[in-house]
């Protein structure tokens, strides 16, 4: 039996004591699974408009999304004709068309080529600032987490090891395990000069 509660702002999704368990359809979470899960039998346009109720008035919002994610000209392509980065942007656009309260991203950069990872990382951060939608991002890459997070929660074997702002965690790792994790990456806390 799962215990505890999950809420976003004032909205309760799940509460084991009040026996509330909101069906996924009403949670208003934008969900981005690891492989993006685009519907393979639908075009980019159909994917993005999938969650939209009435197809008519969506035209303007659809255009905004296509522009925001630089998907112009790809509207009639099928997912198998897209690159990894394009797939991700379609998945984001599809989730955002529903105006979710929160975005849940499961290892969004795992399936992207290392060479473009940093670029997409920056884009994600900018997007978050632009839209102001809270994002929960799951990653195994601590450097990615440190770069993206406003608040970082480190889990190990299903338990919270440490939580806080990235800087705080870097400066005061709570235990050996966290410092070990931090030790695997290079962090520049001071400005680096090169000549």
Which parts of this chain interact with other proteins (CB under 8 A)?
23-27, 29-31, 33-35, 37, 39-41, 50-51, 53, 78, 80, 94-95, 98
Query: Judged by CB, which is closer to other proteins: 39, or 155?
Result: 39
Complex with other proteins: residue 38 or 142, whichever CB lies closer: 38
CB 195 to other proteins: min, Å: 49
Of 35 and 128, nearer to other proteins (C-beta) is 35
CA 124 to chain centroid, in Å, comes to 8
Closest distance of CB 67 from other proteins, Å: 21
Residue closer to other proteins, measured from CB, 26 or 140: 26
State in angstroms the smallest separation of the CB of 156 from other proteins. Answer: 25
Rounded Cα–Cα distance for residues 46 and 43 (Å): 5
Q: In whole angstroms, give the CA distance from residue 94 to residue 32.
A: 9
- Closest approach, Cβ 28 to other proteins, in A, equals 8
Residue 174 DSSP symbol: S
CA distances from 160 to 14, 22, 153, 154, 174 (A): 20, 25, 7, 6, 11
Name the residue nearer to other proteins (CB basis): 41 or 129: 41
CB of 193 to other proteins, least distance (A): 46
Least distance (Å) between residue 50 CB and other proteins: 6
Own/partner contacts of 139-144, CB < 8 Å, gap of 24 or more, are: 139/107, 139/109, 139/110, 140/107, 140/110, 141/109, 142/181, 142/182, 142/184, 142/185, 143/185, 143/187, 144/109, 144/117
At residue 29, φ and ψ (nearest 5 deg) are -105, 130
Q: Would you say 31 or 139 has its CB closer to other proteins?
A: 31
Q: Which residues contact 156 (CB under 8 A, 6 or more apart)?
A: 177
């Amino acid at each position: 039996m799962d215990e505890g509660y999950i809420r976003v702002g004032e909205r309760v999704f799940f509460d084991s004591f009040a026996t509330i368990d909101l069906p996924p359809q009403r949670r208003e979470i934008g969900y981005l699974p690891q492989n993006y899960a685009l519907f393979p039998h639908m075009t980019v346009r159909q994917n993005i408009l999938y969650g939209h109720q009435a197809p008519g008035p969506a035209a303007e919002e659809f255009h905004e999304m296509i522009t925001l994610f630089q998907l112009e000209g790809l509207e009639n392509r099928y997912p198998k004709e897209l690159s990894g980065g394009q797939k991700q942007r379609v998945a984001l656009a599809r989730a955002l068309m529903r105006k979710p309260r929160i975005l849940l991203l499961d290892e969004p950069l795992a399936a992207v080529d290392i060479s473009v990872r940093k670029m997409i990382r920056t884009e994600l951060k900018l997007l978050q600032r632009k839209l102001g939608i809270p994002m929960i991002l799951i990653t195994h890459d601590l450097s990615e987490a440190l770069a993206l997070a406003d608040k970082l929660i480190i889990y190990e074997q299903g338990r919270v090891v440490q939580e806080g702002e990235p800087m705080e965690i870097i400066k005061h790792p709570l235990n050996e395990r966290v410092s070990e994790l931090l030790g695997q990456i290079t962090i520049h806390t001071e400005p680096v000069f090169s000549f």
